Chains A and B, each alone.
Chain A
């Protein structure tokens, strides 16, 4: 049996979302309520007719339309308006039990009622829909704020003890230099330090993933020097790269690009970390960038075992870790990198290289600056 794919699940769930939307759909129930409401109102009016006269009945009907506008959706409200106009005409305006109207005065009143009822009905319904929308927007803002607060709080609570561990182990290794068992103590301190770094990485990834999924990430675009961006990514991963050869190829005349520097540095860093953890430390990693056809291309390539041919999309799934479990980590890095790239409206794909190894390519549609060209002249 095949597991249903995630897109299937989304597709199956979507009618339910549509049903909840008050503006586009009104359930059958509301139409029944509308018809029943007009029936009850008509009975009441029939009983009151002798007291009020048939002219005032139109006002009672109008009241009914207003009430309907407060509780029902647009369609049923318009039904109430039309039905009430017709019943008024049929049952109350002489000659009775015909849709014919004898007096010009009555005909004018009827026409006016019809227009007023339809207008009032549609206006109240629209007002209600807008209120509903405003409430939903408010709710969304609230929950986003709550989520951000919660994330900040979790981040603080998880990272503070990690910071303490990291700092304490460093102090420890500094102090042990003077002690007798310095060799052993030094090693222990460095174990604690490595562990805290590893844990910190996991926490960072989990928090990033959560940020991506809750949609709090919105790129803040600024002008970036692509070479500088790639260098920052290399700096961040200097520990996992661990002195292996990095070949950086960026054309001298590459223009400045308008993108979120921080997010893109993170995305490239995740690709670097991935390459570093899945290939032998003797093999170089290549980073290339070029600007072509309004797209910025940045790629990270290695000479490792490459990508299993059937698994190119699987790579980017959350918690996917490939066959090589020794590489460690939760399997979130590539998924986060893709999230950051997609937040820019770009694409992250993987392919096998000629001659072996994997290449991860980021394609970003970006605006570029012409300042570079101008400066070259001066």
Chain B
């Protein structure tokens, strides 16, 4: 029998917890709940969940604070739940170590997809030499990129940008994370380079430049390489 995964929901809204429980149990998760940040941290120690769903607006402490406390000793995948439209909060949470986010009202299918991706170990950790999803194939050892079997020539910067996105396939990567990884610490404020290179990448990789399917824009937050349709 398949060992079920453990999920912890930290949210003060009972109704939301109940619904998340239904959805997650439907996807073979054993579900635990916590109402406050403190209780949530305690539950993580006790239950050792495989994924944490964390609301940003908790009554006792800011969700971001829960996250940074948690990240001091655990690298459990964390998915942020937020009703706030404020992209800044989400970016802060993502930069503080959250793996992804969903905005309420959320789509159950989308939520489960995000949970799946967040739990998947990153390609860096697995040491997989080749990324293969749909039409896109990236061979890290040979630094080679193929689209539908045809080799695509990328400049070194374009390649390292694509590499970061591919290594986090399915997950959102913030502007800051991309700038820092590709251009280094000092480039964090140079958002214009990022926009230009994403445009270049799209020109080379997207079938329809007017409706990008591969590199998705997350408004005000960052980019996401869509793993499913790629």
A residues near B (Cβ < 8 Å) are: 152, 155-156, 159-168, 170-171, 174, 196-197, 200, 204, 207, 220, 222-225, 227-228, 231-232, 234-236, 248, 256, 261-262, 265, 369, 371-372, 375, 378
Contact of A167 among B88, B105, B212 (CB under 8 A): B105
In the complex, are the beta carbons of A372 and B16 less than 8 A apart?
no
In the complex, are the beta carbons of B105 and A166 less than 8 A apart?
yes
Mark contacts of B182-217 with chain A using CB atoms, 8 A cut-off: 1 yes-contact digit, 0 otherwise: 000000000111011011100000000111100001
Give the chain B neighbours of A166 by CB distance below 8 A. 105-107
Bound CA–CA A161/B105 (angstroms): 9
Top 6 closest pairs, chain A to chain B, by CB: A163-B104, A163-B105, A166-B105, A223-B192, A262-B220, A223-B191
Bound CA–CA A159/B109 (angstroms): 19
- Contacts A/B (CB < 8 Å), 20 sampled: A152-B57, A156-B57, A160-B104, A166-B105, A167-B19, A167-B23, A167-B108, A168-B19, A170-B109, A171-B108, A174-B108, A223-B195, A224-B195, A228-B198, A228-B199, A231-B210, A232-B217, A256-B196, A262-B219, A378-B155
Give the chain A neighbours of B192 by CB distance below 8 A. 223, 256, 369, 371
Give the chain B neighbours of A369 by CB distance below 8 A. 192
Bound CA–CA A28/B78 (angstroms): 66
In the complex, are the beta carbons of A231 and B211 less than 8 A apart?
yes
Question: What is the count of residue pairs linking A and B with beta-carbon distances less than 8 angstroms?
Answer: 100
Classify the interface of chain B: helix, strand, loop or mixed: helix
Using C-beta atoms within 8 Å of the partner chain, give the interface range for chain B.
Answer: 35 or more
Contact of A171 among B15, B19, B209 (CB under 8 A): B19
Contact of A155 among B84, B87, B191, B219 (CB under 8 A): B84
In the complex, are the beta carbons of B198 and A225 less than 8 A apart?
yes
How far in angstroms is the closest Cβ of chain B from A251?
13
The answer to the question of B113 belonging to the interface, with a C-beta cut-off of 8 Å to chain A, is: no
The answer to the question of B62 belonging to the interface, with a C-beta cut-off of 8 Å to chain A, is: no
How far in angstroms is the closest Cβ of chain A from B173?
15
The answer to the question of B151 belonging to the interface, with a C-beta cut-off of 8 Å to chain A, is: no
When C-beta atoms are compared, the residue in chain A nearest to B88 turns out to be: A220
The answer to the question of B75 belonging to the interface, with a C-beta cut-off of 8 Å to chain A, is: no
When C-beta atoms are compared, the residue in chain B nearest to A372 turns out to be: B196
Contact of A375 among B20, B26, B196 (CB under 8 A): B196
When C-beta atoms are compared, the residue in chain A nearest to B102 turns out to be: A163
The answer to the question of B22 belonging to the interface, with a C-beta cut-off of 8 Å to chain A, is: yes
Bound CA–CA A204/B26 (angstroms): 30
In the complex, are the beta carbons of B196 and A160 less than 8 A apart?
no
Bound CA–CA A56/B93 (angstroms): 69
B residues near A (Cβ < 8 Å) are: 13, 15-16, 19-20, 22-23, 26, 57, 83-85, 87-88, 104-109, 155, 175, 191-193, 195-196, 198-200, 209-212, 217, 219-220
Bound CA–CA A38/B83 (angstroms): 63
Give the chain A neighbours of B191 by CB distance below 8 A. 222-223
Bound CA–CA A49/B20 (angstroms): 87
Residue of A166, A170, A372 ringed by the most chain B CB atoms within 10 A: A170
How far in angstroms is the closest Cβ of chain B from A244?
14
In the complex, are the beta carbons of A261 and B23 less than 8 A apart?
no
Known: A163-B104, A164-B19, A166-B105. 11 other contacts (CB 8 A): A155-B84, A160-B15, A164-B13, A167-B108, A171-B23, A196-B105, A200-B105, A227-B209, A231-B211, A232-B219, A378-B155
In the complex, are the beta carbons of A231 and B217 less than 8 A apart?
yes
When C-beta atoms are compared, the residue in chain B nearest to A370 turns out to be: B192
Bound CA–CA A161/B210 (angstroms): 36
When C-beta atoms are compared, the residue in chain A nearest to B199 turns out to be: A225
In the complex, are the beta carbons of A163 and B84 less than 8 A apart?
no
Contact of B195 among A156, A160, A228, A235 (CB under 8 A): A228
How far in angstroms is the closest Cβ of chain A from B214?
13
When C-beta atoms are compared, the residue in chain A nearest to B23 turns out to be: A171
Give the chain B neighbours of A235 by CB distance below 8 A. 217
